[in-house]
Structure 1
Amino acid sequence: MIPALNLFLDSVVDTIAPPIPALENCIYHWEKFISNYLDWTTDGVCSNTHIDVTNIPVHLEHLKQVLLSEDENDNYTTNSSMEYALQNDLFNILAIIAEKEKLIGLRLYILRFMTDLIEKLNNPMLAHQSVSSALLKLINLCDYVLHSEDQTDQIHFLFTLCSLLKSQPNAAVLFLSRDSENYNLKHPTAQPQGLNLLDCLLSYINTKDTNVYILFCKCILILITLEEEIVGNSIVENTKLCLVLCSNLKNLFCMLPTKLDYNGLEAIELKWRTDYDATYSNDVTKFFCWFDFIIEVIKHGQFIISCNICELLKSVLFDEIMYLSLEEISISTVFIIKKMYLLARSSPLIHMINNWIRSPKDSRNAPFETLIKVCYTKDELLTFHVMSFFNVILNELDKDNLEFIVLQYVNNRSYYEGNNFVTWSDEEDEREKKTLLGINKSNTSCTLAPSSIDRIINRLLTLYPQNLQSDSLHTFKNYIKVTNDKYENVFDVCKHFDWPTEAIEIDKTKEFYSGPFLEMIYSKIHSIPNQSPSITLQIKNILILLSFLPHPYLHEYLLNSTVPLKRNVPSAYNTLCQVIKKIQRTILTLPNYYKELNTARERVFNNNTYKLFKNEKEEKSILFDNAVILEELCKEMVAVLFVKYHYFSLYKE
């Protein structure tokens, strides 16, 4: 009854009395607030009374309106009411009262009061000791672990504060030290000890409220994009952000199911902003949405933050649980790593993953080398996914990857049998290479545009016998346009690699070794008659991509079948020749083989690789499908030769 009467009397006074100066009004309501608070509380004892039955909310609301009203009339200087609040530490006192929370709901009400106030003030002066000290106390009261029931209001306060720091980035470091209350902008020497803004935000990482989750992520993105260098350093040195982001991804990875719907996930990109549901999302969605968020942090964060996250991802996730033995590798693991690789391509994270792929650890092989060994197993579905991943890696056109996978083995030209020229034009080309090498600063190349191009193309076109051709025209012209477009893209990337323009160096002291990757490719080519057409398609794509590379030694070794090779040196041309002859002998013994070839052509061109896998039941279908794929491989390789020749001939002219 007493509180209600007091409320009524206060309302009457406010209605009848003439307007009073803002400062007096501010002091009046502050003193009334303190008086009411003391009336309802006893030192050391928390009341069971709810704040709504007291006059406290009324006086706090009036106090806020006075501060905001006076602020609207003076945008650039501190008004008298705000000066009073700052000099008498009103906000800090409110924060201390919120910490004690001797009345039910008082903590939450003060949090809302401060949120609304700093959001609407023209200049909330976050760096002022009185304001920052109060905000830091409230940050500690927003810990999700302690107060999850009020998470909506708490994340709103944190988001409001983060948004304001965009316009006051110099104040951000105050809220990002471990002992932010003792941090001094001019002398930042205090040793951090307590909870800071980012670490408080990270307590919301497992929230079951999607809206809270989205705001939590947005808060992090705001803070990591602040341009002040001291802010980036503080985030890395004084917060747990980088470690928590990476550890959470590791935990989500460990929760992934052992079997995944590869077909459904292949073309889907899961985004944290649109696809995540804190309550209903499955483990796969949670993992890829969180990975998408990490990529966004790496893309847009300060350089020091991005580097730190990449390093921690390598040690916490990739080094710790992804260095698998041959027996431990599963289809799910390969698919997930490939999907992560694809998603990371447009971010600095791709450089870390590429480095990890090439790097051995302790006694374990580099992941790429282990994956090569997988291709020798009898598990064709696993082999297919590994080969698909190889295609993705090669398509990235990373210089160090290409060197590691294949170029290091052909750079010394140890495959070449010197001074054993087949024709005069070959000998002339060798002499011209040395001449051009001394004067050429463009991309002219006798290696990539040899004078014997007609003979090289004819040898490759006639490699596939006429009686096996499912395409009556057997022409490579249909591939010219798409090959030309693709080559321009490849060349635009590779022209920055400082590759040589001519293949002239010969190291006669070394025995040629094609390297484990090409060795595996040759092995899979030999297996084509009996292996899955889906794998053969992957081999075709790999060979075509390697053929695209404007590297003289690789080009000469892979595409120029007229080059004299050392004895027992394997080559793509000779290997294909052996396999095609084997397939020809088998197919010609089968009835209606030409009709079967036409049927196989329709099947190969109309189905994707997954459907091909699904339909692979008969040995006869496998044989004919592979024959068609080999036919198209020969035509595509000719198209690459043709395009590269004319591309470099243009430079010659």
Structure 2
Amino acid sequence: MFSKIGNILQQAVDALAPESTPKDDFLYHWKCITNFYVDNTDDKCPVSSTNIPSHLNQMLVFLVEEEQERESGNTGPCMEYLLQHKLLETVHTLGRADCPPGMKTQVLRFFTSLLGRIHQPLLPHVNVHRPVSKLVRVCGEVAAAPTEPEEIAFLCTVCARLKQEPHLAHLFLRSKEQNPKTQKEMQYPSGSSSSPKPPRYDTNTAADTKTSKGGAKTVSNPGASNDSQGNLHSYARKREGYDLVDSLLNLSKSEDGRVAVKACEGLMLLVSLQHKDAARALVQDTALCYLLNLRLSSLFTALPEDMDPVDVESVEAKWGLDSGLHDGHKFKGKRALVSFLSWFDYCDRLAAEGGSRECREYISRSIREEFFEQTLGPMLCATNERTILTSTSIFAKLFYSVECKDLLHEMLNFLLAEPKDQNSPSLLLRLLERCDHLSDEISIMSLQLFETVLRKNDPMAIEALILKYLCDRGYHMENPGNIVIQSEPAELEWDLEPGLDVPPSDVAEANREAGVQETESRQAMNVAKYNPRLHVQQAVNCYLNVLPEAAKSSQTFDDDSGHDSYLREAHRMYRDVQFVCGRFGWPKEFESPERCKAVANFNEGPFMRMLLNKISRLLDQPYEVNLVATSIASRLCLTPHSLLHEYFVDPLTPTRPNIKTLYGTIQQLTTEMMARFARVPNFKHKLVLTRKSLVGSNASPAKGSLGSHSSQAMNVGNELSHLLEGAIVLEEFCKELAAIIFVKHHATTASTNP
């Protein structure tokens, strides 16, 4: 009551007094604040019941108006007074003491408004960046503090200011000479590629699995920490300071979701700074990478170990959005899965936003070493089938969602790395072996993992899995290593009885016919070699005519047998793949094969060997397995690399004896299929019914669900079902290959003859 009367009287005096300057008014409000601390003795009176907030607001109004009235770069008298008399130091001290109660909130708001509304460069002034730095250290100091909203608003404003002026980032880095003892204790070898690791929190190593509140078993790893809520200052103070990062990291664990999201946004702003020293301090001298991976591991270990791969694939989770929880599809562990995928998406974005290459690589490498190798790796190498299925489906999901190139390459390094123990198989070989697992579910999931990897269209994956085995063209007939040693006739004479060296007339006739056919075939191949148009026609016909008409069932349903749809789809997909792969700089032409390195024994590599083996068993595998295997093969056929096309796609490539190729595998399948059909009564009618069933249900008509096979042989019904379905898949696959060859030829012709 008396305070209000005093304000009214003061306003009356001000109205009768001579007109004052803005600086006088500015000083008046500042003196009112300082006089409060001189006159007031009640330190329990909340700041909201005083005039301090209004005086601070009025001071800010004068500063903003002063800047607007002056030319850019000129400092007015109010700002000069604030800088020269270290007003911000005093304001920070008042806020740090939080006296009167609530003063910290008012100080944070004042600093936030000052940095957000004043456009002239303030941070270079020592009397600005010093109190700002001190106030930064206060933020996040107390967990669940009532001032968290104001703290995060202030920190994000500082980050935004640094984003505009990245050359000032060093102002918030503490010199390493400030604490030489701590620096010596925490120093790591300069040549180490590992992320600095703070002391581990307490971990439970007694069990490989744990139980969630709902009683469900969850994937766990003995080396992963379960305590992600510890105060970061226990670690951050042991290393040199980037206090802005440390405060944001503490607030990123806030129970208030809005505060946590804003803290993550602030970290992303800092990561994107184009400042080498700041980037190095950000990733090496703080707990950023450790906390990222600690939380990633904790969220992963909270997932149920028996998740359905279909459920994992159906979730679309992005950091900062809640859409993944409200799509109507409910299943056990969905919330935990959304949380994990959302945080991985944030790690991916954070790595992608790195302002320097060193920063991006360091974050990505830490994720590989701390999460993939220590947490996910043991789960992928487990023997329990449910654990294998869940971890593989999540691994595939992470490959599908990753966008940062550096993180993708680290994931590929993890997948393709050689084992540390030479006596144990690598992760790559384990996953390739599981493509032919007794459990169809695991086989399908393992194949889908590699399909997802190839869909990333990254040259590193294609080179490591396929191209490095083709570079010497050891598959080609003209490779110098293709030497057939002829035995001398004298060495064989002793082994032949009289008359046996002369073949019977029918055998001789057959040999003559075979020789004529081989000669004609070689002549056609030589003609096609120098006539690209004829070459592609013959290649297309090879795939269209490899199956006898008796084994085809598509003409029963349509006139064009689906050729137009395959051509349209191949054109669309090849256009997209060519756009991406065109940036890889792959050579369009290679040395002639006779000039390549002599290769005695061609090795197609474990991946291509696995894929050709899967295709060779199309007639004995479930329909779903065949779809994934042929999808991978089609993806490879679309890849615009000359050697891959020559070896894997082109049926006219002259190959050495006993070299397994895609077209040769299809020819063997056709021969086997017709031999088996000969033992099936009325097989054409059954083939048509099977196609009708597949077209109607878009699923395999085979009875039973996918799962591990029993030790007994498949019954006759399943065997016939696999044969009929495999024949249909093979027919469609051949049409797709013919369309791909046609589209690739015309795309190449169009690019060379615009």
Would you say same fold, with TM above 0.5?
yes
In structure 1, what is the equivalent of residue 724 of structure 2?
624
- Within 5 Å, give how 1:204-603 maps onto structure 2: 204-266=251-313, 268-275=315-322, 282-303=335-356, 304-323=358-377, 324-325=380-381, 327=383, 330-345=388-403, 347-363=405-421, 365-417=425-477, 422-423=518-519, 426=522, 446=529, 449=532, 456-472=539-555, 477-478=563-564, 479-491=566-578, 493=581, 496-498=585-587, 500-501=589-590, 504-505=593-594, 510-561=600-651, 565-587=655-677, 589-590=679-680, 593-603=683-693
Picking from 65, 71, 95, the partner of 2:61 is 65
Q: 1 CA distance for matches of 2:395 and 2:591? A: 37
Using the TM superposition, give the Cα deviation of residue 265 of structure 1 relative to its aligned residue in structure 2, in angstroms.
4.5
Paired residues of 1:410 and 1:554 also in contact (CA < 8 A): yes
Deviation track 1:125-173 (CA, whole Å, cap 9, x = no partner) reads 1221111122122212221644532211111112222223333333232
Range that drifts further, 78-87 or 456-465? 456-465
The AA in structure 2 aligned to 1:223 is L
Q: 1 CA distance for matches of 2:732 and 2:174? A: 62
- Does structure 1 residue 53 correspond to structure 2 residue 49? yes
Using the TM superposition, give the Cα deviation of residue 372 of structure 1 relative to its aligned residue in structure 2, in angstroms.
0.1
The AA in structure 1 aligned to 2:452 is V
Paired residues of 2:623 and 2:700 also in contact (CA < 8 A): no
The AA in structure 2 aligned to 1:497 is W
Q: Mind listing any 5+ residue stretches in structure 1 that lack a counterpart?
A: 183-190, 433-444
Deviation track 1:583-642 (CA, whole Å, cap 9, x = no partner) reads 445555556644443343345456667999987796254433222111111222223333
In structure 1, what is the equivalent of residue 226 of structure 2?
none
The AA in structure 2 aligned to 1:426 is R
Q: 1 CA distance for matches of 2:413 and 2:539? A: 37
Using the TM superposition, give the Cα deviation of residue 464 of structure 1 relative to its aligned residue in structure 2, in angstroms.
2.0
CA, structure 1 residues 138+14, in 2 after alignment: closer, same or farther (shift >3 Å)? farther
Using the TM superposition, give the Cα deviation of residue 469 of structure 1 relative to its aligned residue in structure 2, in angstroms.
1.1
CA, structure 1 residues 278+172, in 2 after alignment: closer, same or farther (shift >3 Å)? farther
Give the match's secondary structure for 1:376.
coil
> May I ask how many residue pairs the two structures share in their alignment?
628
In structure 2, what is the equivalent of residue 26 of structure 1?
26
Range that drifts further, 384-393 or 417-426? 417-426
In structure 1, what is the equivalent of residue 161 of structure 2?
164
Q: 1 CA distance for matches of 2:158 and 2:26? A: 24
The AA in structure 2 aligned to 1:272 is W
The AA in structure 2 aligned to 1:50 is P
Q: 2 CA distance for matches of 1:447 and 1:552? A: 16
In structure 2, what is the equivalent of residue 137 of structure 1?
134
- Does structure 1 residue 104 correspond to structure 2 residue 162? no
Picking from 637, 642, 646, the partner of 2:737 is 637
The AA in structure 2 aligned to 1:70 is E
Q: Mind listing any 5+ residue stretches in structure 2 that lack a counterpart?
A: 180-237, 327-332, 485-514, 708-716
Using the TM superposition, give the Cα deviation of residue 499 of structure 1 relative to its aligned residue in structure 2, in angstroms.
5.9
The AA in structure 2 aligned to 1:406 is I
Paired residues of 1:235 and 1:241 also in contact (CA < 8 A): yes
What is the TM-score when the length of structure 1 is the normalising length?
0.83
Using the TM superposition, give the Cα deviation of residue 533 of structure 1 relative to its aligned residue in structure 2, in angstroms.
0.9
Paired residues of 1:426 and 1:452 also in contact (CA < 8 A): no
In structure 1, what is the equivalent of residue 116 of structure 2?
119
C-alpha root-mean-square deviation of aligned residues, in Å?
Answer: 3.9
Q: 1 CA distance for matches of 2:521 and 2:747? A: 20
Picking from 85, 90, 93, the partner of 1:93 is 90
The AA in structure 1 aligned to 2:593 is I
What is the TM-score when the length of structure 2 is the normalising length?
0.73
CA, structure 1 residues 491+134, in 2 after alignment: closer, same or farther (shift >3 Å)? closer
Using the TM superposition, give the Cα deviation of residue 198 of structure 1 relative to its aligned residue in structure 2, in angstroms.
1.9
Q: 1 CA distance for matches of 2:341 and 2:552? A: 45
Paired residues of 1:210 and 1:278 also in contact (CA < 8 A): no
In structure 1, what is the equivalent of residue 36 of structure 2?
36
Paired residues of 1:448 and 1:555 also in contact (CA < 8 A): no
Q: 2 CA distance for matches of 1:446 and 1:155? A: 69
Q: 2 CA distance for matches of 1:132 and 1:651? A: 58
Once the two structures are aligned, what percentage of the paired residues are identical? 25
Q: 2 CA distance for matches of 1:637 and 1:423? A: 27
Q: 1 CA distance for matches of 2:114 and 2:18? A: 26
Q: 2 CA distance for matches of 1:75 and 1:614? A: 80
CA, structure 1 residues 346+193, in 2 after alignment: closer, same or farther (shift >3 Å)? closer
Deviation track 1:240-290 (CA, whole Å, cap 9, x = no partner) reads 434433443333233333233543443553222433799999222222222
Q: 2 CA distance for matches of 1:223 and 1:213? A: 16
Paired residues of 1:224 and 1:305 also in contact (CA < 8 A): yes
In structure 1, what is the equivalent of residue 193 of structure 2?
none
Deviation track 1:411-469 (CA, whole Å, cap 9, x = no partner) reads 43434455999336736967x9xxxxxxxxxxxx9499496655554443333232221
The AA in structure 2 aligned to 1:250 is S
CA, structure 1 residues 238+8, in 2 after alignment: closer, same or farther (shift >3 Å)? farther
Give the match's secondary structure for 1:510.
coil
Give the match's secondary structure for 2:147.
helix
Give the match's secondary structure for 2:23.
helix
Q: 2 CA distance for matches of 1:336 and 1:208? A: 27
Deviation track 1:305-332 (CA, whole Å, cap 9, x = no partner) reads 2122112112112222233426266222
Using the TM superposition, give the Cα deviation of residue 532 of structure 1 relative to its aligned residue in structure 2, in angstroms.
1.7
CA, structure 1 residues 118+10, in 2 after alignment: closer, same or farther (shift >3 Å)? farther
The AA in structure 1 aligned to 2:725 is D
Q: 2 CA distance for matches of 1:38 and 1:651? A: 83
CA, structure 1 residues 528+547, in 2 after alignment: closer, same or farther (shift >3 Å)? same
Using the TM superposition, give the Cα deviation of residue 207 of structure 1 relative to its aligned residue in structure 2, in angstroms.
2.4
